[in-house]
Every structure is written in structure tokens, then in C-alpha cells.
Structure 1
Amino acid sequence: MDYVKPNQVIESIATAGVNKSQLSISHILIKAMLAGALLGYATTLAFTGATQTGLDIVGALIFPTGFVMTLLLNLELVTGSFAVLPVARFRKKIPISSIAHNFTWAFIGNLAGSLIYAALYVITITYFGNIDESIMIQKLIAVAESKTLDYKAIGMDGMVVVFVKAMLCNFMVTLGVVMNATSTSTFGKIAAMWIPIFIFFAQGFEHAVVNMFVIPAGMMVGADVNLADWWVWNQIPVTIGNFVSGFLFVALALHVVTREKKEKV
């Protein structure tokens, strides 16, 4: 059997947090840029599947490909680290300064990789600016505007909505990171990770790194969204919401329950 029990899983997550805290800035940036690009690839593939079939659920089934590649290659996804590094801190394996260091450079790297992929992808779907109308262009515009302007239109209520959707999203994303450690086989890891990532994407929740690609890509092809719309009405509250849920619902919760189990044995 390749199943790993929860208490062992959380110990391995803590060890992974230690390893992440020891990475150099250059390694964090490179690994994070690759992760950002892979999630961009997965997003455009998901949109392709959804537009070709007319079924968004198809896109949700496809999207976890990027997450799976990211974790199997041990790359840096800041939203996943929102649970991994706090677990290491709870187990007194790393200082708080190491958490801030990793989060900062992973965020920058994810953003850079996402923007590079966005620019390259826009070149392909616009034929280097020679086409301004296609199904995929309209999809990117619609998604970018819905992720910003729809929240802006209802003011603070919209801010609450985007924050909650970000919390619901990263509960599943960080759970996907944990599920990766529940198996010692590659197939088992893929199957375990696929489930929570499918759940978040199928329901249209808000993921900071996905949005680092899809909103600027939409802006590049004509979405009526400016930088303030992107950061104020999505990127900043989504990043904070992603952190809160990863920290509370996964890192803290699983640390507590596995610690108590260990103490009772």
C-alpha cells in the first residue's frame, strides 16, 4: 500500500517547509516563474476545453494538469506555500523571517512567469496583433472583467465576495498540496491532487496565481480593466484571502489534529 497516514503527511509537509525556507532567491524565482507559467498553460487549456465543448465542467477537469506538474516537479507556488511554511513554523522548524522571505520571492516569481506566459499566449491568439476577434480572446476578456468589474460594481459587498471566494479556493489548493503527500506513488499523488483542484476550479473560486495570468492576459486583448481594477478588486484581496484559508483551514487545523493524535499515542 502506498497510502501515507495524516500524521506522517504533516511531518513531511513540515520538512518540505524547511526545504523551501533554505532556497536561494534565484532558485525561488526560477521555480516560481515556472509554476506561474504552468498554471497559465493549464488555464488556457481549460478555457480551450470549455469553449470547444460549451461545458465549463470540462475545463475544470482539465485544469489540475498544471497543478500536478507544479507539485511533481517541486516548484514554488506561493498559494501552496501559504500552508506548507506555516506548518514548519508551528513545528518550530523555521523562523517567521523565512516565511516572509519565501512568500515574497515566490509571489514575485509567480507573477513574472504568469505575465511572460500571458504575453506569449496573446501573441499566438492575436497572430501578433493581426487578429482582435476570436472565441478565446472573448473568453479572456469576459473572465478578466468578471473577476474585477463585477466586484467593483457592488462596492464593499464585492470586496467581501471576492475575499470569501479566495478563501474557499485556497482551502482546496492547499489541501491539494497536502494530498500530494498522502501517497508514495506518482499515480496516487496525481489522483489525490486532482480532486481538490477540480473542486475549486469548477466553482469559479479565486486563485491569486491563476489571476496573475488571466486578468493581465484579458487586459492585453482589450478587457476594460485597468491596473487599479486588477490589484484593488482582485489581486490584493484574493492573495490575502488565499493566505487566510491556507493558514487557518489547512496549516493550523491539520497541525493541531495530527499533533494531538501523536500526543495520545
Structure 2
Amino acid sequence: METEHTTLIQWCNGKTHKGFLSLFFASILAGAYIGFASQLFTLLTASSGLSFGLSQILGGLIFSVGLIFVVLGKADLFTGNCLLSYSCYDSTSSWLLTLKNWVVVYVGNFLGALLLIGLYHASGLLASGQGIIAERAYAIASAKMSLAFIPALSRGILCNWLVCFAVLLCIYSENNLTKLLVIPAPILTFVALGYEHSVANMYFLPAGIVAQGYISVEKLLSWGNIFRNLLPVTLGNIIGGIVFVSLFYWVIQGKSAK
């Protein structure tokens, strides 16, 4: 257990001591990478013709490319970085560094998602498939924006329990091949079951708003509604990461290493 504890502490220290520009640009990339995965999910679930369950499972599998891009591309993802709280149980002074990291990464992730949406909109590809992509993007955003606070919070907790678990497995992996093997299972699970990921929603929600212009629907989605979803989902993601992964594994392996 001591080796695992040391490995995770070293990972936390490396993340929290990154320079501002390095962290910020790595965060923009992560937001875009998750956005690419969200686009693939939209495409597959819009045109698969499969049953709901199988479509969700395959959508979850293809969405896992997002975390693969993030991990192998050395990017910084807010949901994964919730695992930084692991080091805070050893030293409360680590909370300030962790919170600073979260703020920079959250903003960078959002900018990366918006950058991708802007380029995707400019490409005209939202009109692909005779509007089927825009219709699916709108449907996804509508469903997310209609969630009440507690369901959104709960789905956020469940989501990041699995995302941080996937990141934990990657930290313990000895090489990139092992990371490729351990990422899909937790990510497939959270996506297929309909849990809520704040960074994915940074893409899905604005994409749905933009998609309204491509289809004949009443313009019910607005930019102001985005944070009705992002607030509870983000809080849920933080709770899921700092409690069910960071705290639990600190108790399991951190305390036993002392």
C-alpha cells in the first residue's frame, strides 16, 4: 500500500505545482478532447438504429476516447483533477493549491469546449445527416437542462466516482498500453448509465443551444440555463471525487502507509 500511496502523492504534487500557462493550455486541450468524445457520442446515438441500452453502451465505449486523449496527451481535466484532494488528507495546506488548480482547469476546460463548438458550428457539420446531428444535440441538451437539482447532483456524484477511479487506475498503470485497457470500463459504465459529467456538459449544453438554429423547434434553450445544470453537476463531481475515491483510498492505502 505504501508504494501506491507514494505514487498517488507524487502525481498530486506534479499536478498542483504546474506553471500557470502550462496548466491553462493543458486544460483547454482537455476541454476540447472531451468535446470530441461528446461529438462521437452524439453521432453514434443519433444514427445507430439500435436499442436504447445497446446504443448507450456503445456510446459509452466510444466516449472513453476522451479520457484516453486526456491521459495520453498529458492534458488537465477538472473531473480527473478532483483526485488531487487525496494529498489534502495528509496536509490541509494542500487544499489551497488544489483549489487554485481546479479553478484554472475548470475555466480552461470550458474554453476548450466552447472553442470546439465554435469551430464545429463554422464547419457546417451540425447540419450533417439532414439535421439528425443537430436534432440529437438539441435532445441531449434539453434532457440535461430539464434535470432538477438533486437528480443532477446525484448523477454528478456517481459520474465522478467512476471517472476518478479510471484516473486512479491510470496512475497505477505501468505503461500506456495498460492505461488504454483500464480506461474504457469505468467510462463506459458512467456514460451508459446516464450519469452527469460537468466537462462533457460544457460541450453538450452549448452545442444544443447552437443546434436550435439548424432545426425547426421552439427556441427554449438559453445560455442562462446552462448553469442550472452545471452547478449541481459540478458539485456532484467534486463530492464523488473527493469522497468516494480520494477519501476512501486514502483510508485504504494512505493511513496504512503510515
TM-score, normalised to structure 1, is 0.87
How far off its partner does 1:230 sit? 1.0
Q: 1:228 to 1:7 in 2, by over 3 A?
A: farther
Q: Say which SS state the counterpart of residue 44 (structure 2) adopts.
A: helix
Task: Report the counterpart of residue 220 of structure 1 in structure 2.
Answer: 210
Residue 129 of structure 2 is aligned to residue 139 of structure 1: no
Alignment partner of 1:68 is 2:98: no
C-alpha distance in structure 1 between counterparts of 2:108 and 2:235, whole Å: 17
Range with greater deviation from structure 2 (166-175 or 87-96): 87-96
Between 159-168 and 218-227, report the one with greater CA deviation: 218-227
Aligned partners of 1:33 and 1:94: how far apart in 2? Answer: 27
Which residue in the other structure is 1:121 paired with?
A: 120
Q: Is the 8 A contact 1:10 1:87 kept in 2?
A: no
CA shift for structure 1 position 168: 0.5
Deviates more, 1:158-167 or 1:16-25: 16-25
Residue 87 of structure 1 deviates from its aligned partner by 1.1
Q: Partner letter of residue 134 of structure 1?
A: G
> Residues of 2 paired with 1:255 and 1:221: CA distance?
43
| Cα deviation digits, residues 20-51 of structure 1 (max 9, x gap) | 11112211110000000000001111222222
Letter in 1 for 2:193: Q
Deviation at 1:66, TM superposition (A): 1.2
The offset of 1:135, in angstroms, is 0.7
Select the residue among 183, 190, 214 that pairs with 2:180: 190
Superposed displacement of residue 132, structure 1: 11
User: Secondary structure of 2:250's partner?
Assistant: helix
Deviates more, 1:38-47 or 1:223-232: 223-232
Shift, 1:88, TM fit: 1.8
Cα deviation digits, residues 138-191 of structure 1 (max 9, x gap): 010000010002x2xxxxxx2111100000000000011001023202211111
- Structure 2: how far apart are the matches of 1:190 and 1:45? 18
- Partner in structure 2 of residue 261 of structure 1: 256
Deviation at 1:93, TM superposition (A): 8.7
Q: Is residue 78–residue 102 contact of structure 2 (8 Å, CA) maintained in 1?
A: yes
List gaps (5 residues or longer) in structure 1. 1-5, 152-157
Match of residue 23, structure 2, among 20, 28, 46: 28
Match of 1:250 in 2: 245
The answer for the alignment partner of 1:203 in structure 2 is: 193
Residue 42 of structure 2: aligned partner: 47
In 1: Cα distance, 2:167 partner to 2:6 partner: 13
Q: CA deviation at 1:99?
A: 1.0
Q: 2:156 is paired with a residue of what secondary structure?
A: helix
User: How many residues are aligned here?
Assistant: 247
2:180 corresponds to which letter in structure 1?
I
- Secondary structure (helix, strand or coil) at the match of 1:224 reads coil
Seen in structure 2, the aligned counterparts of structure 1 residues 221 and 51 have a Cα distance that, compared at 3 Å, is closer
Instruction: Please give the secondary structure, in 1, of the residue aligned with 2:226.
Output: helix
CA–CA separation in structure 2 for the residues paired with 1:229 and 1:126: 25
**1:53 alignment partner AA:** S
Distance in 2 of aligned mates of 1:192 and 1:7: 22
Query: SS at the partner of 1:206?
Result: coil
Structure 1 residues 50, 95: CA separation in 2 closer, same or farther (over 3 Å shift)?
same
- Find the aligned partners of 1:40 and 1:238 in 2 and give their Cα distance: 17
**Alpha-carbon distance between aligned partners in 2 of 1:210 and 1:238, rounded to the nearest angstrom:** 11
Structure 2 residue 55 is the aligned partner of structure 1 residue 59: no
Task: Rate the CA distance shift 1:225–1:9 in 2: closer, same or farther, 3 A.
Answer: farther
Q: TM-score, normalised by structure 2?
A: 0.89
